[in-house]
Structure 1
């Protein structure tokens, strides 16, 4: 039997993980649905004219996705923060790779699918209620009725643009992977410590780019992330310095698709170190 990964052993571990945590996961999804209902109910109270517009549906989906997704990822290795549970977790006959893949399966893949499903169920129900509230509100004010608001595809939008939402999703998976890594690295208060550490690293990168790296560059700014640099010439035409197209394509591809997997690899080695 392979010591790094075995499909049969992994399937057994997935079943064990689900049996031990299904109550927690189902309650978490119910809590997400309850929070969405409370939020939409609040909007109907404060803005009965248009509580669930297209923009509000998009904002609700993605803000909720970031908040709950990062919180959920920071709790996925909670067993490591409790002595007896940590011993049981580390002694479970499954490889570190199998435990990490299980965490990614439940904390990233299934969470995203489940959150989207819960969101649409709540959104569909609350839209029916919202349309009735708006209709009654306008009728009471003797104003012309509005067309009924329809359910929105949060991945395709003429308001924000499909490409913008696509990048928002890519950033989410990267940010969520940071919190998943933090749940392995930190023993207590994983969410807070990961949030603070992430902010410190982000501020350091901003300082490094604008203060240190910028001091070696001509007066200007990056037009696209590290692929095009725009030099400001007062009274003259702006000069654009661009990396070769093949290099720009590689850098953009890595920035979009490689960050989250790289964080998973780091989490694997950290988890493997704990198992040793």
Structure 2
């Protein structure tokens, strides 16, 4: 009987997964860098082209602030969902599921290693690329536009759930984690075509949610708090269900 969790065994298995997936992850990181670089350049070209009419003594806010945060936030969520849908790519076929089931690790270690590598790895790489490009943008444009209040942006700078910055960051984190947890669950429920199956399911759920929210005249603070707490609960439930679904893996090759 394998223990529920052993740190050394977990790290060895995580290293094994990294060895198997590193080429794909390096390629994904390069694609992410290219996409984000294009976004940053395009926003800079469109946002800073009409600033020469201001005098150097007139301080203006960064016109690219909202566009960069919004675009990169969408890219972060979309990329995280795609990364989460790849959680079980090596188990889509019968031979892959046999390989997963016969690994000398507990199922929790197997599940957690995939979460750390695919989801956590993407989050880490995204933030490294995002802040590296943001620092380059600020350094390069400070001398060109001295009258613009340039600053490194963050993914939570466009949200205003709460006045307290800490609570606002917490609420933003919940709404980032929720869609990712849906695709983590979808990778186990739809092992053959996780991205397509989960996207269709999320689209249907989104339509139902929009229909329900249409009965509310405005988004009050109480409603936002309630929805955020519900999203946090569903996020934890989705992660738990994905683990339970992985524990119930079958070797039978079903269509």
- With the shorter chain as reference, the TM-score category is 0.7 to 0.9
2:70 and 2:155 in contact (8 A); partners too: no
The answer for the alignment partner of 1:86 in structure 2 is 97
Compute the displacement of 1:206 (Å).
4.8
Residue pair 2:2, 2:105 contacting (<8 A) in 1 also: no
- 1:118 is aligned to 129
Matched-pair contact (CA < 8 Å) for 1:52–1:130: no
- Deviation readout 1:146-186 (Å, 9 max, x if unpaired): 33623224445798864555423211111101001111111
* Distance change (3 Å), C-alpha of 1:68 and 1:60: same
Deviation at 1:128, TM superposition (A): 3.9
Structure 2 vs 1, CA of residues 60 and 220 (structure 1 numbering), >3 Å: closer, same or farther? closer
SS at match of 2:2: coil
C-alpha separation in 1, matches of 2:23 and 2:47: 36
TM-score normalised by the chain length of structure 2: 0.76
TM superposition shift of 1:254: 4.7
Cα separation, 1, equivalents of 2:217 and 2:136:
51
CA RMSD of aligned residues (A): 3.3
Between 1:147-156 and 1:166-175, the stretch displaced more is 147-156
Which of 180, 197, 200 is the aligned partner of 1:196?
200
Structure 1 unmatched runs, 5+: 136-144, 228-250
Question: Which has the greater radius of gyration?
Answer: 1
Equivalences for 1:67-78 in 2 at 5 Å? 67-78=78-89
**What residue ranges of structure 2 are gaps of 5+ in the alignment?**
52-61
2:218 and 2:32 map into 1 onto residues whose CA distance is 41
- Residue 63 of structure 1 aligns to a residue whose secondary structure is helix
Mapped partners of 2:241, 2:155: distance in 1: 32
Q: Normalised by the size of structure 1, how large is the TM-score? A: 0.71
Figure out how many residues of one structure are paired with residues of the other and give that number: 236
Tell me, yes or no, if structure 1 residue 184 matches structure 2 residue 159.
Answer: no
Conserved 8 A contact 1:179-1:191: yes
Structure 1, residues 95-120: CA drift from partner, whole Å, max 9, x if none? Answer: 22111111221233333222111111
Displacement of 1:266: 0.4
